Amino acid sequence: SDEARIAFDNIADRAAGLIHPSIRFGVTGLSRAGKTVFITALVHNLLHGGRLPLFNAHHTGRIARTYLEPQPDDDVPRFQYEDHVRALIEDRLWPDSTRAISQLRLTVEYESASGWNRMLSAGKLSIDIVDYPGEWLLDLPLLAQDFREFSANAVELARSRARADLAEQWLARATAIDPKATADETSARELAQLFATYLKACKSDARALSTLPPGRFIMPGDLEGSPALTFSPLPDLPPTGSAPKGSVWAMMERRFESYKQVVVKPFFREHFARLDKQIVLVDALQAMNAGPDAVRDLERALGDILSCFRTGRNSLLTSLFTRRIGRVLIGATKADHLHHESHDRLEAIVRRLVDRAAERIHYSGAGIDVMALAAVRATREASIDEGGETLPVIVGTPIRGEKIAGQTFDGETKTAVFPGDLPEKPDSIFEALDQKPHGEPVTDINFVRFRPPQLERTAEGITLSLPHIRLDRALEFLFGDDLA
């Protein structure tokens, strides 16, 4: 059974840990949230002695050595750290984003802060960083749904204001099909394709809608083109009764069930259930910039993601797996788009977003922490005088093709941008959701995409490591106890 296998894996992991202590650290978030950049910056700062004053073990000089080692799992692709660093630092281009699961082992040799711990522990800890698409996490709720429920949820969302126009083609075709009619492979595949196209369209920059399951329709990983991905929900299924043999309905239902068995369960068993720590990255700024529907949608997706971490009675997961994750950190990314006065405000807004999402799934939200951060700080702060008034600005190099006030940037020119402020009261964002028109930003933030920063050199010619915002706080939160 799944439970037995997970219990076995847990024991095997523990046993291995007696010889060589290691923890599994999951990094997730919906696509473009910043996972690749976060992992790259974290590793780079640790390997190259970054400025991390709030990361105690590092700041107090207790870390003797940090290095990469071969990962323990041979069947998982390695996180391509070196390629990503080269892109970020040498080319000053954002690296290729996460498309599937990958892993990297970082080993830290340290000295415990207390004499007692120094005697007990070997002072060596391996952190297995596991990068995986948040889209895959959104599949977990499917385990508790049958095909009828899955279809009803999908169709309801497809008919909502935010999505109706994108879903039109798929819905029209799906509605024209009689679920009880005889199935044929070609039309099944076409319908599945239309469904996948609709799900992908929701992710476009302008819409910035969060993903709907099945997650592999957006992030197929190694399943690209496989039959497990050729199904579609069906509208207007009869509320009771079962699918007639040989019907479209029966075919879609069977493939939906096998998706759960073949794709969803193994991922949770082999990867998710073995994590010890977790950060979920959230790009709330992009959602606020895209409009009220995107914010509501992010809230919905966050609820689905959080439900995977909920412990206790009635939780889907506790019934399926024994988990090891204690606390979950939600990282509100890309804070370098804001002036520092707004960093705490971003944190407060995302905290509200998390609380609202948690409330919807009847989850207290205990054990969930929120931090605003920028894994890579692409801007620096300055102020300019305008008509006798001093205005805070951020300075950076907009990426090539970025347009600001009619000017198109070439990717080489630095410019100052007035970033705007987030509201002091987080609730005003949520009040604005009902007042702002569809598709209009819900804040006054000027959202400009910048190139990664040029690294500074000291007078001695040493290149400093990647600048960040609050990455050290996140590290302390995540690993402070393990290195105490």
374 binds ligand GDP (CB under 6 A): yes
The distance in angstroms from the start CA to the end CA of the chain is 37
* Smallest separation, CB 320 to ligand GDP (Å): 26
Closer Cβ to ligand GDP, 189 or 203, answer by number: 203
User: Is 277:24 a contact under the CB 8 Å cutoff?
Assistant: yes
User: Is 454:352 a contact under the CB 8 Å cutoff?
Assistant: no
* Smallest separation, CB 374 to ligand GDP (Å): 4
Residue 319 to residues 3, 257, 273, 308, Cα–Cα distance (Å): 9, 19, 12, 12
* Smallest separation, CB 14 to ligand GDP (Å): 30
* Cα–Cα dist 331/337, whole Å: 15
* Smallest separation, CB 33 to ligand GDP (Å): 4
Angle made by CA atoms 204, 207, 212, in degrees to the nearest 5 = 75
User: Is 290:203 a contact under the CB 8 Å cutoff?
Assistant: no
Residue 388 to residues 290, 384, 391, Cα–Cα distance (Å): 33, 10, 10
Q: Looking only at residues 299 through 358 of this chain, which bind ligand GDP when binding is defined by CB under 6 A?
A: 333-334, 336
Closer Cβ to ligand GDP, 33 or 251, answer by number: 33
* Single residue of 6, 22, 24, 29 touching ligand GDP by CB under 6 A: 29
Closer Cβ to ligand GDP, 29 or 235, answer by number: 29
Q: Which part of the chain contacts ligand GDP (CB under 6 A), choosing from 24-32, 217-225, 247-255, 473-481?
A: 24-32
Residue 75 burial by Cβ neighbours in a 10 Å radius (0-12, 13-18, 19+): exposed
* Cα–Cα dist 24/104, whole Å: 10
* Smallest separation, CB 40 to ligand GDP (Å): 8
Q: Which part of the chain contacts ligand GDP (CB under 6 A), choosing from 237-245, 356-364, 372-380, 421-429?
A: 372-380
Strand partners, 109: 65, 124
Closer Cβ to ligand GDP, 139 or 336, answer by number: 336
**One-letter amino acid identity for 223?**
L
Closer Cβ to ligand GDP, 219 or 325, answer by number: 219
* Cα–Cα dist 41/79, whole Å: 13
Closer Cβ to ligand GDP, 327 or 449, answer by number: 449
Beta-strand ranges (E) seen in 11-113 are 22-29, 63-69, 102-110
H or E element: which one contains 357?
helix 343-360
Closer Cβ to ligand GDP, 323 or 334, answer by number: 334
* Single residue of 101, 273, 354, 376 touching ligand GDP by CB under 6 A: 376
Closer Cβ to ligand GDP, 298 or 378, answer by number: 378
Q: Which part of the chain contacts ligand GDP (CB under 6 A), choosing from 32-40, 145-153, 380-388, 401-409?
A: 32-40
Q: Which part of the chain contacts ligand GDP (CB under 6 A), choosing from 14-22, 205-213, 369-377, 413-421?
A: 369-377
* Smallest separation, CB 380 to ligand GDP (Å): 12
Listing DSSP states for 409-458 in one string gives P-SS--EEE------SSTHHHHHHHHHS-TTS-SS-----PBPPPPPPB-
Closer Cβ to ligand GDP, 57 or 417, answer by number: 417
* Single residue of 130, 275, 301, 375 touching ligand GDP by CB under 6 A: 375
- Total binding residues for ligand GDP by CB under 6 A? 20
> Nearest CA to 97 among 25, 196, 203, 194?
203
Strand partners, 440: none
> Nearest CA to 214 among 264, 251, 249?
264
* Single residue of 6, 24, 26, 31 touching ligand GDP by CB under 6 A: 31
* Smallest separation, CB 186 to ligand GDP (Å): 34
Q: Looking only at residues 34 through 73 of this chain, which bind ligand GDP when binding is defined by CB under 6 A?
A: 34-37
* Smallest separation, CB 337 to ligand GDP (Å): 6
Closer Cβ to ligand GDP, 31 or 232, answer by number: 31
Can you tell me which residue has the tokens 């080489």? Answer: 412
Closer Cβ to ligand GDP, 243 or 394, answer by number: 394
Closer Cβ to ligand GDP, 249 or 267, answer by number: 267
Q: Looking only at residues 75 through 114 of this chain, which bind ligand GDP when binding is defined by CB under 6 A?
A: 94, 97-98
Residue 159 to residues 26, 154, 169, 170, Cα–Cα distance (Å): 34, 9, 12, 11
Q: Which part of the chain contacts ligand GDP (CB under 6 A), choosing from 42-50, 212-220, 374-382, 413-421?
A: 374-382
Beta-strand ranges (E) seen in 255-309 are 277-282
Q: Which part of the chain contacts ligand GDP (CB under 6 A), choosing from 18-26, 262-270, 373-381, 410-418?
A: 373-381
* Cα–Cα dist 138/141, whole Å: 7
Can you tell me which residue has the tokens 């592999």? Answer: 216
Closer Cβ to ligand GDP, 303 or 419, answer by number: 419
Would you call the peptide bond into 214 cis, given omega within 30 degrees of 0 as the criterion?
yes
User: Is 368:390 a contact under the CB 8 Å cutoff?
Assistant: no
Contacts to ligand GDP by CB under 6 A: 29, 31-37, 94, 97-98, 333-334, 336, 374-376, 378, 449-450
